[in-house]
Each structure stands twice: as C-alpha cells, then as structure tokens.
A and B are shown apart, each in its own frame.
Chain A
C-alpha cells in the first residue's frame, strides 16, 4: 500500500478495483466463546461492476456489508483481514475518517423503505442534510440538487413532493427516495442490502431497473446483497454464494447460475420453484444452515451435502479457481488427498495460450455436465412419487359433484371513515374499502386453488372470510354445497369449521411461545373433544409429528428451540390435528429461506396427496404458486381478474395484469431480453380507478375500460375479466421458450 492520502479524495485510478476484501473475518465475542460470523472471505468489485452476494439468512452477507461500511454493531468486530477501497486500506481508518467515507464514497441502501426514513423530517430536510454533510453547498444549491436527485430516481412532481414527509409516499416511492439519499454525494460504491425484498413484484422490477440504470449512468459499483436468485440473475455481473460465513462459490453470474458447481449452490438453484415449468418435486437440501455456535469442523455444508466425503468432515476447503469461477469444495479441489477432478482444475488454472483457452472451455462444459449429472442423481435420491395429474385440463369442468368449496359473489367492505366529529368539522368523507369485490371461484375436492396478487389485493381477506374470521358483506360461501351463512345451530357450523384449518405466514408469531409443542398440536384435538384419554392424544401427536418430518420427542420442546422451517412444520401438524379436509394456507413459506421453502412445499405436496387434502393457497410468489397449484385465481384490488389452471395462466397469461405480473418475474435463465417494468403502482384501494381497476396501468386501455366494470368471460377453459379479452383485442401472449439449461432432466 502506498502512503495514505487524506480521506481518499484522490479516490484511486479508474482501473483499479473499487473494493478489495481480503481474508475478512468478523467475530462476535459472547459469553460462550467467540462466534465467527464471517470467516476468511475475499472478493473484489471492479468499477461499474455489480457483485451479487446471495445466501440464506445467517450466511453472513449483511454482516460483510456492514463490515465494509464500518457499521458493525458492537460487540461485532473485524478480527482479521483487510478491506481496501480504491486501493487504500479502510478497515483501519479512525471513526471520523470512516464517517466521512460513508455516504461520500460508499453508500448503503437497506431493505425496508418504510423504516429507512426518519418519519419526523421532510424528504427535503433529510436530503439537504446529507448533501451538505458531504458537499460544500449552500442551502439553496443543496435544495436544488435534492430536487434533481428526486427527479433522477423517478419521483414525479419532485419540486413539490420534496417538502413532504416520508409517510406521504408509497413503499416503492420511498425506496426511490432512499436511493436518492444514497446517491446524494455520488458515491463510487453502493452496498444494497436486500433493496427489493420488502416490495411487490411490479415495484421490485421498477426499482431493479432504476438501480441498474443509475449504475450505468454514474459508473457506480454495487454490492447487491439478496436472497433472491432472480434479482441476482437479472442484475449482477458476478455473484458470490455465501454459506455459514464463508464464500462457497464465486464467479460470473452466468457461470454460477447455469453451471453451479458447489453442491450447496446447486441445491439452492434446484430448490427455487420455476415460473415456466411444472415440477413434481423441488430439489431438497435437508436440514438447515448451522447456527453460528455449532458450525461443524471441515466444510460447513458437509452435514447437508449428498456428496460429502470423509475429507469434507475434517478439513475445510479453500476457495480454489475452477474455470472462471472459484469454488470452496473438495470435489473440485486440485489436491492429492482426493485426486478427483484435479485434471480439470489444473487445466482451468492455467491457460494463457489459445490451446489452453480451448481446454478451459472444454473443462468448463465438462464441469457443467458433471454438475448436472450430480444434480439429477441427487434428485432421484429423493422419494419421487410421480404425480398423476390426470386431466389437468378438466379443471374448469362444468361438473359440480366434486366441488368442495364454492364462493360466489363474495364481497367484504371495511368502513374506515373518520369518526363522526371529524366528518362534521373537517369535512372528512365516509370511505369504504371494498377489500373483496364480488369474487367467484370454486375449489374441487383434492385440488389446490391459489390466489395471487400484490399486497392489498384482498387475497388474505378471502381466506379469512372462508374460515369465518370475517363475515361477508355479500355473496355466498358454500362448503359441500351448503351455504355457510344459512347453517343454523352452533354444533353444525363448528363441525364444518373443524374440517377447515388455517396455516399462517409467520411461524414465529403463530405459535404460543409458552406452550410445549405437544400442547400446541393437541389444542384443536382437545378443543374439539376429538379424542378421549391421554394415551390416544399422545399417540396422535406423535403420529402428526412424524407426518410432518419431526421426531415424536420434539413434542416436549418449546417453539423457540426450533428453526423457522421446523416451526412451520409444527403449524402444519397443528392444522392437521383435527383431520381437516380443507387447508387454507396464507403465505406459508414467504418468511422462509428458499431451501427451507422447498422442504415445506414438498412436504405440503406429499401430505396433500397422502391425505387427499383440498387447499386454498394464498401467495404473492408466482413461482411458488405455479409449483403448488392446480388452479390459480389472480386478484387485483379486490376483484378476481383471471382464473385458470396453473400451467395455462403462467405459460399463456391473458389478462394484462397477469401478463404484467408474469413479466415482472426476474428471468433466472438470463435469456437476455430486458424486461420492461410496468409503470405505476397499485392505486389506493380507498379510491380505486373507475371501470376496470387496472385501466390506468393497462397498455390495452380504451374508453370502455374507464367506464364499465368488465365481467368475467369464459373462453378456452379460462375466465378473464377484461374488455379487451372479451372484444378479442388482446394480442396472443408470448409463449415462453422452454429451456433445459438449468433444470435437471426429469
């Protein structure tokens, strides 16, 4: 290192890496010994480059970001290694120098735009404060710059809105403000920590496009931390996969996603449900990431690895170059101890002449092939009961005999008017939100029906209406042909309620922390007096625990002793306790990591088959919905806009909103085409647009759409509520090109 320039105003040459991290180690001293949260990781980020960092929660990716920007929360500390920014060491800088670096040269964007801004100050105040901290500007110049920044990140009417408070902006707009704040002093590196995770898919696409555009325009480098492979695939140039505090694999994004080498990366890719493909079973990585307190010796992934060798359990693999990428896995180590794959590694390691380059290319494809082989072998290990989806096309059949749940004209209003006095003195108006507006669908016995849509579309309200947590303001809910509202007699209605059970989103909040698991599971049994005697109940609990993949001994434990995925298993066991026929799952996997999500989805699928359950599945994740459902209904602002079987709706979406949702899904296969994010946001349900609610965002809008509420039209086995569809104005949907390059052969 050369001598330190005063606080990096020189900012290095243009070619040198913006950031170099060398053998970084982050530790947390605790009473029970020192936890190593980030263990010996090295990477660099070049100017203008986007480095994606993926991994499941607890992998240490956010801590790495915090360490770089010098914001580790005590007692966490950098215990080893070096961090260089533009060639200068920054991990040893003093507090004041580090502070001057933050925001000026390295900026950060956080996950939740709703909490990232101080609610008590205007946007102008926060922007001007930041600008003037770093740049020598007068108040007026800073204000002008602030408005320019807002304009640049796409906030309409920036000159006026700059004086508003954060709560007056929607979530997507707030994230734009956050980006403007991060860009305020033209930093060279932005650390974006899950910048789109809290946003709806359509907004997510807009924010990603914005980030990409800004980086290209300003030549800013980005370290993009996320758990979402789709976002990485679309945005990053290179990607680092982290596992238990170490980098498992790092390389060009195409290389890592399409030809994953590390068994963990491979499993992770396989466990992501795909939007354009039916799969019976997701690749499943059993278990969960070890806690920091119990990281095993050797490779941290070895206990979950299907290809673990003796070496893996005793010795830790280092990152070694294989082809263009680097992998920390003994399978790819050019080492005598194992001898395996050393040729490839050697061939790839060399290479300055054309011959070597050819060799390298071969080696790469060979590696990719092997990776595929391994994956398919792994997949066949899994108990794969072939899913006999007989007559999927007959889902919208006219036969009503096997319909379990029929919802017709279902509506629910919420009166959110201000109190009487406010209406009198402040001219407040009565306002009623139509959370659910005349929704019709039916669910056939033994099938899974999914409702998808962005937040606020009313999908969860439908679920709550069906289980009876809310009473409908209109319409009918029929269970086995009987109108639930017309059933008199408590006993009878309770009997029907017992046959429906619900699984909630948050496995942490939905289990009583002071109850033992066995009591949690036994609650519906005891409440319904379904079984008599302790012994019978205990036996049933044990059976349920085994059914959901836990041990009968787990019944004695408390919920906090379990991970998120295991807790969701407990929730499922509780839901199954009363032997229901109908399960309502409200975002059951959206709080879970992908590999755990795959476990839960597989479990739910096999349980459904085994027990003949009928499911209503609520989710915002289209890929998950595609994977789990037979039929899908798409909701927008309280109305059902399209209803069809799962394959049709995703392969050839019809309603413009469905198409928009479908297009907003990041393309994991990187087929190259830039997607065009749909402009606009979901309007406030308080004041929905006239006619078709979607018309302000619709590319096929005509006069009639603004006037008239479209009725559902049935054609080709699907129901679509759209004037353009009815009039035959819609262009045929782009058929998705099947691509086998990622998915293992089936």
Chain B
C-alpha cells in the first residue's frame, strides 16, 4: 500500500512537471509578456529593463525553476487583466465551480446508478427502452443547447428557477450556494445541465456491468442458494459493478471541473470556467497557466483517490496474492 502510494506520487510528480512545463511555455510562445505589460509607446530600453526585471533574460532552465518554485507556493503572478494575484482570482472562483461539480456528480450517481441497475435487471421492459432512448438523446444534444432549453422551460415559461448567477451565497469559509434556499435554487439548473452527460454515462456503464455480472457463476450460485432478489442484485451484483463505475466517475469529475466552461457560460456562473474563458479572450497568460496546473493537479488527485477506493472495495487488491495451501 505504502509502496503503491509512493509510486503513484512519483508518477503524479512527473505529470505535474510536464504540465508545469507546458504552462510555463505559454509565457514564451503565446505572445510576448513584455508586450502585454508595457504600453504601446514604450521604448526599447524600457522593454529591456522590464524583461530584465522579470528575469526574462535568464537562461531557460533558471526561468523554469523559478516558475516551478513559485507555482508550488501557489504564486502564479499577477493577472494581466484583473491586476490581482492569480491565486486570489482563482480562490474566489474555485468554490463556485467545485460546488457546481459536486452537486452535478452527486446527481449523476444518485440518479444514474439506480437507473442503470433498473435497466440492467429489466432489460426488455418498456421503461428501460424509454430510458435508454432518452439517454441517447441526452448524450447527443450539446450541453449548451440543453442548458438553454432548461432555461427556457424552467425560468422563462414556468418561472420556477433563476436563469443565471449563483444567487445568494453565504460565507462558510468560502462563499457557498448550498446553505441558502436561493443559492440552492440557483444551482439546480446548471448542475442538471452539467450532470446530464455523466448521468447517461453512469447509467449505461452500470447497466452494461450489471448485465455482465448477472451472467457470472457466483450470481447463478447465489440464486441457486435461494437468496432473495434484493440480496442478489444489490448485495452481490451491484458491488461487483462498482470498480469500473468509480474509475469512470473519477475521471469524469476531473472532466467536469475542467470543462464546466460551457455550462458556466450559459448560466453566467461565476466559476473558474468563466474565468478561464475570459483569460483566453484577453490572453491573460498567468491565469491560463495557473488554470492548467490546477486542473492537472485535480486530475492527479482524483486518480489517486480512485485507486485508493479500489483497495477498499476489492479485497483481492488489499491482501497479497498469497494462496494458502493446506
């Protein structure tokens, strides 16, 4: 276990260095940082002084080392556009995105797993067919369209839910949506939009895994022992479907965080996606670099957690492969 974690940490470090390198390259290859910082009428001397003070004349490895050292401390420099430290800008936006993703992931599991189990058990029932068809539509419609449709129905026509923004937030260490009614109302539509794709994926995955597991000998044997359907389906079958579901859900959470951009744009959700989008529009390289590193870090972290979850679910991984003789 310890060896495993150490190995994973080492791998994670490699990933982070690689991502950091790419993020750092942004500064050199996407536009000229000096150009971005000085006025249009700056003299060559001024530019050179600026470059010198920014350390741009140092050798490449030195610059990268400095960038990496700063990044580790969470210092990505000043945002060109907002003129505040990048880490502050992100710290302000991050909770909004994390909360949105958290709710979306929760919804997708809470709805997707039971639907997957149902469609797996009742393969040919009309409801299963309906669910599968609808999910196919859900998976093929682009996110922004779903978001707009939801706004149209629930905000414009029915006027039940707010159509944009976070609504009222409460400071509970961070600005949270989840403790006020208005905040909760505001998060429903964007979370629904965001989770729809993942929900479909989870449902189909659980269904496929259930079908697979229900064919196994130990399920047949459990039935032959007269166990109740409940015990067979939820005790024996479902647990065996969880490993792949956890893998995919983990990866998908990373995706949700990284690509909540569209949903956040549609709902004007003040999260990181919006920040990133704006950073691209204004070539705000420090923000882009920080975002890149942060997303990579989250991915690495989630993967580590997923791998550790395997250990708790599957005893075959927990204990060494030692088979007792007699």
Contact = CB atoms under 8 A, between A and B. Distances in A.
B176 interface: no
A536 interface: no
A99 interface: yes
Nearest to A185: B226
Contacts of B221: 108, 110, 116-117, 178, 181
Interface stretch (B137-145, B183-191, B204-212, B314-322): B314-322
B183 to A, nearest CB: 39
Contacts of A122: 315
Contact of B325 (A165, A170, A425): A170
A108 B224 contact: yes
B73 interface: no
B226 A165 contact: no
A185 B225 CA distance: 9
Contacts of A182: 225
A203 B307 CA distance: 37
B134 interface: no
A102 B222 CA distance: 10
Contacts of B236: 118, 121
A102 B6 contact: no
A741 interface: no
A133 B231 contact: yes
Given A107-B224, A424-B3, A426-B2, A118 B218 contact: yes
Contacts of B239: 120
Nearest to A122: B315
A426 B3 contact: yes
A119 B224 contact: no
Interface string B109-139: 0000000000000000000000000000000
B218 A421 contact: no
A655 interface: no
A168 B319 contact: yes
A71 B220 CA distance: 8
Interface in A115-158: 115-122, 129-130, 133-134, 156
Contact of B323 (A104, A129, A169, A424): A169
A120 B310 CA distance: 11
B316 A167 contact: yes
Contacts of B4: 421-422
B226 A99 contact: yes
A710 to B, nearest CB: 21
Interface in A452-501: none
Contact of A71 (B1, B223, B322): B223
Contacts of A120: 239-240, 313-315
A261 interface: no
Nearest to B235: A129
Contacts of B2: 425-426
Interface residues of B, number: 36
A554 interface: no
A117 B218 contact: yes
Given A110-B217, A115-B217, A167-B323, A133 B316 contact: no
A142 B4 CA distance: 38
Contacts of A178: 221
Contacts of A167: 315-316, 319, 321, 323
Given A422-B3, A426-B1, A681-B325, A112 B217 contact: yes
B218 A102 contact: no
A99 to B, nearest CB: 5
A612 interface: no
A459 B220 CA distance: 34
Instruction: Choose among A120, A130, A156 the residue with the greatest number of B CB atoms under 10 Å from its CB.
Output: A120
Instruction: Choose among A116, A165, A418 the residue with the greatest number of B CB atoms under 10 Å from its CB.
Output: A116
Interface string B212-252: 00001110111111111101000110011000000000000
A103 B226 contact: yes
Given A119-B314, A167-B315, A133 B324 contact: no
A248 interface: no
A425 B231 CA distance: 39
A726 to B, nearest CB: 27
A524 interface: no
A178 B218 CA distance: 10
Interface in B142-166: none
Contacts of B226: 99-104, 130, 133-134, 185
B3 A168 contact: no
Interface residues of A, number: 52
B326 interface: yes
B123 to A, nearest CB: 9
A683 interface: yes
B49 interface: no
Interface in A294-336: none
A111 B218 CA distance: 11
A681 B326 contact: yes
A184 B226 CA distance: 11
Contacts of A102: 223-226
B7 interface: yes
Given A120-B239, A421-B3, A684 B231 contact: no
Contacts of A169: 323-324
A173 interface: yes
A36 interface: no
A178 B220 CA distance: 12
Contacts of A419: 3, 7
Contacts of A168: 319, 322-324
B319 A165 contact: yes
Interface in B5-31: 6-7
Interface in A51-105: 69, 71, 99-104
Contacts of A116: 217-218, 221
Contact of A170 (B229, B314, B323): B323
Nearest to A679: B326
A452 B322 CA distance: 26
A130 B319 contact: no
A680 interface: yes
Contacts of A165: 315-316, 319
Nearest to A182: B225
Nearest to B236: A118
Given A120-B239, A133-B227, A683 B218 contact: no
A118 B225 CA distance: 13
A498 B4 CA distance: 45
A741 B319 CA distance: 54
B315 A130 contact: no
A103 B224 CA distance: 6
A206 B224 CA distance: 24
A69 B227 contact: no
Given A118-B218, A120-B315, A425-B2, A129 B227 contact: yes
Instruction: Choose among B1, B224, B239 the residue with the greatest number of A CB atoms under 10 Å from its CB.
Output: B224
Contacts of A115: 216-218
Instruction: Choose among B1, B225, B319, B321 the residue with the greatest number of A CB atoms under 10 Å from its CB.
Output: B225
A128 B315 CA distance: 19
Contacts of B313: 120
Please give me the 9 A-B residue pairs with the lowest Cβ-Cβ distance, nearest first: A103-B226, A102-B226, A108-B224, A421-B3, A103-B225, A115-B217, A422-B3, A425-B3, A165-B315
Interface of A: 69, 71, 99-104, 107-108, 110-112, 115-122, 129-130, 133-134, 156, 161, 164-165, 167-170, 173, 178, 181-182, 184-185, 418-419, 421-426, 428, 680-681, 683-684
22 contacts: A99-B223, A102-B226, A103-B224, A103-B227, A107-B225, A110-B217, A115-B218, A116-B218, A117-B221, A119-B316, A120-B239, A120-B315, A133-B226, A133-B231, A165-B319, A167-B321, A168-B319, A168-B322, A173-B326, A181-B225, A681-B325, A683-B325
Given A118-B236, A167-B323, 16 more contacts: A69-B224, A102-B223, A102-B225, A103-B225, A107-B225, A108-B224, A119-B240, A133-B226, A167-B319, A170-B323, A173-B324, A421-B7, A422-B4, A683-B325, A684-B323, A684-B325
